[in-house]
A and B are shown apart, each in its own frame.
Chain A
Amino acid sequence: MTTRTKKQGSWRTVKREEDGCAYRMMGKGKILRRDQIDTQGLDMPNKLDDLIHDLTNMEEDRMDVVLQRKNVPSSFTGQKMALNHTRGLEASLSAFSFLFSEMIQYSQKRVAGVADLEKRLSNFGYRVGMRELELTLWREKNAKRETRVLGILVFINSTLWKSLFGKVADSLQKSNDHDDEYMITDNDPIILKYISTPKELSSFNAGAFLAGIVEAVLDGCHFAARVTAHSTASDQFPSCMTLLIKFDKSVMQREKAFEGK
């Protein structure tokens, strides 16, 4: 038997007496068939049938998805819904900046020099980038796997930047001196808005966090590269920042092979 316990917003929490588990459901007037529910990772798929049966019989208004059994996250959930409901939401820039500043201070206590500090910030970014890539690609309508250097750079310059900052990066350039180096410039990176670097740390750029994000995205697309952030401030754009992307040898060799074709 199932008892309905609580209704919060569009959620309903349902408790099953047999196993005492709480289930969450969403009601939108359609029942999902058994085979439409992803049971991967569910520890007792056979119980799902009678759960659905219970729910259908009990509820007058019909349910569509058994969204989430508590304590058994993810694979059993309506992932599409869960992933998209944060799309387009905004958070306060102050809140982000306070958090980011705390992250920098925390890192600063644990490092010997500027290079280490940037490495740590880059690591913070790397974990963000890995996830952001997955999310962006999953939402991209005509996502395809990029195989060429220029393709992936344009993807970062436009698609990734848009999904992170709501705008395209200000420029994408190829280095004159080195074939394997490219630069992406943002004239006014929003995450650096409230950051000013003291004189004794003048070589430090908090954009290392952003460099980490880009490095993770490149890595995730099989373009191994080293990405570093550099301040390219001018009077017009005092917080202007350039990411220097240096591709790994293997990537350049692959690129050459493509060119030969």
Chain B
Amino acid sequence: MQGTPQPRATAASNQPGARAKAAGEDIWKNRTDKINAELFTLTYGSLVAQLVKDYEDYAEVNTQLDKMGYNIGTRLIEDFIAKSGLTKCGSFVETADVISKIGFKMYLGITPTITNISQDQKEFSLILEDNPLAEFVELPEDAVRDGLWYSNVLCGVLRGALEMVLLQVECNFVADVLRGDEVTEIRVRLVKVLDEEVPAADE
């Protein structure tokens, strides 16, 4: 997705990364309707609580969150492309850059760091320094023990959104500060680039 929503003639914006960053910030600042972040956080928390109540099994909650995220992702991508005006990315690494600097910025107001890009450039990690979904949250011990990934909806969103632009990815949390880890990390792996076809039905 070579990103040039608006021409910008500053010296810094010659770098593709810097350009994405500026574009992301512009969209967030000037073209995004906002809502109180705490209401958003608490609402997500209420959803997770309901899932835990309904399924009584943390692994199943992870799956459900991922599914919901997937549904969101498949719709969100349209909004994303419309607002950002982006076209095809040159490489998966560039995709990573766009996800972090424009995607996350546009919807959550954060810019995760991209690290651990694999040799073949098909895998990368997103480190979330701040996670708006997880504010005010403490996990009970059994949730940590039984492997609840509280913000798992994000993985689904990435998976769904990328699939709509023909990138099939595997995406999962590998660490979360809520579980006592040092950082919050999402690992994304490109499985394959899909052929153009009629999209499968919603899950």
Contact = CB atoms under 8 A, between A and B. Distances in A.
A166 interface: yes
B50 to A, nearest CB: 6
A22 interface: yes
A201 B43 CA distance: 23
Interface string A151-167: 00000000000011110
A193 B36 contact: no
Nearest to B178: A73
A143 interface: no
The listed residue with most A CB atoms (<10 A of its CB), out of B39, B41, B106, is B39
Interface in B139-191: 153, 177, 180, 182
Given A99-B43, A128-B46, A86 B71 contact: no
B68 to A, nearest CB: 5
A90 B46 contact: no
A91 B72 contact: no
A124 B68 CA distance: 16
Contacts, number: 118
A6 B182 CA distance: 9
A89 B38 contact: yes
B180 A93 contact: no
Question: Interface size for chain A: under 10, 10 to 19, 20 to 34, or 35 or more residues?
Answer: 35 or more
Given A70-B180, A86-B135, A96 B43 contact: yes
A89 B130 CA distance: 12
A6 B181 CA distance: 13
Contact of A91 (B35, B50, B68): B35
B36 A91 contact: yes
Nearest to A163: B36
Contacts of B46: 124-125, 127-128
Nearest to B79: A94
B45 A127 contact: yes
Given A73-B138, A74-B138, A94-B79, A100 B37 contact: no
Contact of A165 (B33, B36, B41, B135): B36
Given A91-B108, A92-B108, A103 B138 contact: no
B109 A90 contact: yes
A96 B75 contact: no
Given A86-B135, A94-B79, A99 B47 contact: yes
B36 A9 contact: no
B59 interface: no
Interface string A98-135: 11101101100010000000000001110110011001
Interface in A65-101: 70-71, 73-74, 83, 86-87, 89-96, 98-100
A8 interface: yes
A2 interface: no
B71 A102 contact: yes
A106 B48 CA distance: 12
B6 interface: no
A99 B69 CA distance: 8
B86 interface: no
Interface string A1-25: 0000010110001000000001000
Interface string A133-148: 0010000000000000
Contacts of A163: 36
A71 B180 contact: yes
A124 to B, nearest CB: 5
By Cβ-Cβ distance, the 6 closest A-B pairs, closest first, are: A89-B37, A90-B34, A93-B33, A91-B40, A73-B138, A95-B107
Given A91-B37, A94-B107, A128-B42, 14 more contacts: A8-B129, A86-B132, A90-B36, A94-B76, A96-B40, A99-B43, A99-B72, A102-B68, A102-B71, A124-B47, A125-B46, A127-B46, A128-B39, A131-B136
10 contacts: A8-B129, A9-B129, A73-B138, A89-B36, A89-B37, A91-B132, A99-B40, A123-B50, A124-B50, A191-B35
